[in-house]
Amino acid sequence: MHKEWKRAAARGMMAALAACALPLAAQAQAQAWPAHPLKLIVPFGPGSSPDQVARVVGDRLGGLLGQTVVVENRPGASGNIGTNAIAKAQPDGYTFGVSITGPLVNNTVLFDSLPYDPAKDIAPLTLAVHQPNVLVVPASSGITNVAQLLDTLKKNPDKYNFPSTGAGTVSHLSVELMLQQIGAKAVHAPYPSSPAALTSLLSGDTQFAALPPIAVMPMVKDGRLKALAVTSSKRSALLPDIPTLGEAGVPGIEGSAWIGFVISSKVPADIQKKLSDALITALKDPEVGKKLQTQYMEPAATMPQEFRRYMDDELKRWAPLIKKLGLKGQ
């Protein structure tokens, strides 16, 4: 009996030591991180806005961490393939990524099922940048302000077409939200890219659009397009002379494109914090800011919890509209 008690006590002590060793091992892992290069997954192709953010910020991040940050593009399925790779990566903190509204928010409504759950499988690190879309018309249209456009749309239901960079994207939904607010109707024409959407606008196939500033502002400056408003709730510091839709009489529109850094939720919290802090520092670097601003991107550099709240707000904003329109992902 005495021997059995001693064996039981020994087993209990070993179990207790093992339990203590687990957090110690995790702590040691966090202290050693990063011991080798990191992989930064982009769910879109080279040259895309998320890719540009990843490379600009990743370069500065590598200097801060003392390790190389290798960008890997994994496009496809509206960003779901790459975002799933981020969520399912080995949870050691050496793989993280960038993603956008679609894979992190809207695709949960657009698709019947996803291979990952953004609310459970993905941890936010920081909201990196905002990029408000610009509501534009061809200069040849004779329309010079939002009021004129809205009046034209109200008087001609379903006679005007607008392009977007795809069904369910911010360039699509921000216009649908505007139309809903004013009680007007127009026909949506999805295109695979901003250049293709602009071609349709200049050729007359479509008559107005809300597209990224990097795509439209060169044509605004050369006189081919007229900028009427930005689709964000506040004026853009990079486009200070362009009013918001709210100022033009259409309140409640927040149609900014955004890009954020995320990681698998299974990565130890200490490593998540180290990476988040380093990313925020990189985004606040003046040289990084200048490079992003040349692409009309406004650095945000939020804390992780702020980014999570923002994603929750985005879902509340867009889910009812997506469901009302009966949109489905492709």
CATH code of 204's domain: 3.40.190.10
Model confidence, pTM:
0.82
Are 283 and 321 found together in one domain? yes
Q: Note whether 318 and 106 are within 8 A (CB).
A: yes
pLDDT of 3 higher than 60: no
* 3-state SS class at 160: coil
The residue to which tokens 């809205």 are assigned: 150
Q: Tell me the C-alpha distance between 107 and 242, whole Å.
A: 30
Confidence band for 254, pLDDT divided at 50, 70 and 90: confident
pLDDT of 194 higher than 60: yes
Are 282 and 225 found together in one domain? no
Measure the CA dihedral 10/12/15/19, to 10°.
-130
Q: What pLDDT score was predicted for residue 45?
A: 86
The parent domain of residue 41 ranges over 36-131+257-325
Query: Cα separations (Å) of 116 from 9, 84, 85, 106?
Result: 43, 6, 9, 13
Are 119 and 205 found together in one domain? no
pLDDT of 184 higher than 80: yes
Sequence-ordered list of residues with C-beta below 8 angstroms from that of 131, at least 6 positions apart, any chain = 49, 212, 213, 214, 256, 257, 258, 259, 295, 296, 297, 298
| More reliable by pLDDT, 257 or 137 | 137
pLDDT per position as a tens digit, 203-217: 999 999 999 998 899
Q: Tell me the C-alpha distance between 175 and 276, whole Å.
A: 33
Are 58 and 123 found together in one domain? yes
Are 150 and 176 found together in one domain? yes
Q: Note whether 185 and 157 are within 8 A (CB).
A: yes
DSSP 111-136: SS--SS-TTTTEEEEEEEEEEE-EEE
